[in-house]
Chain A
Amino acid sequence: MDRVAVIQYCLSGITHGSVYAIVAIGFNIIYNTTGIINFAQGEFVIAGAMTAISLSAVVPLPAAIALAVLLTMLLGGLIELVFIRQARDASVLRLIIITIGLSIVIREAMLHIWDEKVRSLPFFTGTDTSTVTLAGAHISTQALWVLGVCAVIVAALTAFYRFTATGRAMRACADNRMAARLCGINERRMVTLSFMLSAGIGALAGCVISPVTQTQYDMGAPLAIKGFTVAVLGGLGNSMAAVAAGLLLGLLEAFTVSQFQVAYKEAVSIVVLLLVLVCRPSGLFARRGIVALGGS
């Protein structure tokens, strides 16, 4: 491979990897406040993109995306209020199965609303052929959008967690739920909020990546697997590490495509997932030795 090709693969890897990172952060937000892995995370991403695609036919693109993000946040909040709250004392096994059921129902609902056609949002700026040249390699303007939006999401989330009272309250819940409750933090509200936040950033990620990868009703599950792989790779609950892990998986996939058939691209993340789970379940960047695995 020459130098330009390497840069080209890197850019493509980083673009996809940053979306995986956002999905992983979505997993982490909910995991931190509830201890649940939300198997419907991928469906949030697709639901957001699909809603934006439908809305963009009637309102301008920025408004469509904003509305889609809001609607998906509502969906996330509703799911928490109606289903997760009911099963508050359930075991992990039950909660896993509930979120799996939710992901299926949302997916099937999307199939009946938007059929099985592959759709996509228009490119935010320029057309599908407009590119920017970077050190000899070409990058689509949409890829720059993806990178930019993902960076903004990460920065905004960091600021939210660090500087706002609500963000601090959510972190307190993640750290010690009982202590947070004793300090007068409404823990249930934080859980609802975490579902909304997670759905919202998932939807936004779905919107920016839609012009690049297209959107179809059943693309949520593979995306969720990759997001989960990234979340585990970085260590569950650790959002900053998830960014690094996401870029790592993106690069790994990009270079696999350069060496093997495209068909194996899907398998990369699963193999990485199984390897990490078996060899280093606390994640690549874990500082503390052993982290409790699952538990109840």
Chain B
Amino acid sequence: MRRRRYLPILAGVIFVIALQAVLSAVGATYYMTQVTMSAYYALVVIGLCLLMGYAGQVSLGHAGFFAIGGYTSAVLTTCNLIAWRESPWVCGCRMLGLVVERQDLYGATLLSFAPWPALMAALVVAGLVAFLIGVPILRLRGHYLAMASLGFGLIIYRIVLGTPLFGQADGVSNVPPFRLAGGLQINGRPAFRVQNYYLAWAAVLASMVLAVNLVHSRVGRALRSIHQNEEAAHSLGVDTYRYKLAVLVLSALLAAAGGVLLTHYNGSIGPSEVTVMKSVRYVAIVAVGGMANLWGAMVMGVVLNFLSLRGVFGTYDDAVFGLILIAMMLFAPEGLLRADWWRTALSRFRRARHA
């Protein structure tokens, strides 16, 4: 059983390496940039799949968590503390390596937070916000929860648009690369393309291991019982409210991590990441992958985001995701990547041909 669980991970690793080999061999390494970005978006999708598919709670505000992560990290790593250079707090942080000095494009000296503490801060903020917002709204169900989460996403959007600290309509740019250990860094420049491709996939596969294990644990079973019948689960002694809250926080953390990493990769973040349409898009991707199908959601997260980033859908980008939502919910609510769906569709097709 346990071995079967890790088989897809192994397949994933092989696929990732093969894809890189093929792309390098045909000289199409530029595709890797979009694959990398799509992989970071897939982190949001994995988190949302846990929340929607397994715990059965809708969220129309997940772009909000992505933005909380991305913006927190962007602001902390681009702010300039040079005016407070002498203050004991800043000196202390500098000695601990939390605050670093660097040169900006014009050679001026910038004193701002290092990416590591910024990442930690972003995760803490996102987790805390998810907890605080989850306490009241997870008591709601159905339409009420959908609208409340939509309202949360809209408020984050308004805050981003209205606050000069977040760059308003321009967003935050000149976010420095994220230097990891051993010379690796999250950096969008072409020279770092291959290593970033692998870093992004490492993040995705690590999240998948986490999510798959969670789903197959006691927690996962509790979540599925909530999805199927919350009252029954509750009466069997499952603390439904606590489980729902925990999954919301976890999925917010994954979304925020995706936001932080993509922001460092792109070097910027803007309000277009926070729109309602972005949140709806994540929901659409989870729906195509099959609500309670982590692998399906992850694969679709990468594929659909990749196609969208390549501009395949043109001006019909949003419309495509809207149509996907409708079609999936009408014809294949369990998702496309399921063997039984194909089997029934195939037999239906055969029957139609014979008739």
Q: Which residues of A contact B (CB under 8 A)?
A: 37, 83, 86-87, 90, 92-98, 100-105, 107-109, 112, 221, 225, 228, 232, 261, 263-264, 266-267, 270-271, 273-274, 277-278, 281, 293-296
Contact = CB atoms under 8 A, between A and B. Distances in A.
Given A274-B152, A294-B140, A101 B329 contact: yes
Contact of B147 (A83, A109, A263, A277): A277
Given A96-B58, A104-B277, A105-B326, A294 B319 contact: no
Given A100-B325, A101-B323, A109-B319, A90 B137 contact: no
A267 B144 contact: no
B322 to A, nearest CB: 3
Contact of A267 (B56, B139, B158, B326): B158
7 contacts: A86-B330, A93-B56, A271-B155, A277-B144, A278-B136, A281-B144, A293-B141
A98 B326 contact: yes
B309 interface: no
A166 B324 CA distance: 36
Contacts of A104: 277, 280, 318-319, 321-322, 325
A98 B329 contact: yes
B287 interface: yes
Nearest to B320: A108
B326 A101 contact: yes
Contacts of A83: 326, 330
B323 A295 contact: no
A35 B270 CA distance: 38
Given A98-B329, A263-B162, A266-B158, A108 B141 contact: no
A101 B158 contact: no
A277 B137 contact: yes
Interface string B136-169: 1101111111111011101100100110000000
B283 interface: yes
A274 B141 contact: no
Contacts of A261: 162
B315 interface: yes
Interface in B110-157: 136-137, 139-148, 150-152, 154-155
Contact of B155 (A93, A100, A270, A281): A270
- Which residue of B143, B319, B325, B330 has the most chain A CB atoms within 10 A of its CB atom? B143
Contacts of A112: 315
Contacts of B139: 278
B322 A294 contact: no
Given A97-B325, A104-B325, A293 B144 contact: yes
A242 B143 CA distance: 17
Contacts of A281: 140, 144
A273 B155 CA distance: 11
Contact of A270 (B60, B154, B330): B154
A92 B151 CA distance: 19
A92 B325 contact: no
B322 A101 contact: yes
A112 B329 CA distance: 25
A278 B60 CA distance: 17
A96 B319 CA distance: 17
Contacts of A293: 140-142, 144
Interface in B304-355: 315-316, 318-319, 321-326, 329-330, 333
Given A101-B329, A109-B319, A274-B137, 18 more contacts: A37-B143, A37-B147, A83-B326, A83-B330, A93-B142, A97-B287, A98-B326, A98-B329, A104-B319, A104-B321, A105-B322, A107-B318, A221-B276, A228-B147, A264-B162, A274-B155, A294-B143, A296-B142
Contacts of B329: 87, 90, 94-95, 97-98, 101
Contact of B143 (A96, A98, A105, A270): A96
Contacts of A101: 284, 322-326, 329
A216 B161 CA distance: 20
Contacts of A108: 316, 318-319, 322
Contacts of B323: 101, 105
B335 to A, nearest CB: 12
Nearest to B60: A100
B148 A100 contact: no
A185 B333 CA distance: 30
Contact of A294 (B137, B142, B154): B142
Interface in B212-228: none
- Which residue of A83, A97, A107, A228 has the most chain B CB atoms within 10 A of its CB atom? A97
Closest 4 CB pairs of A and B: A294-B142, A104-B322, A101-B325, A108-B319
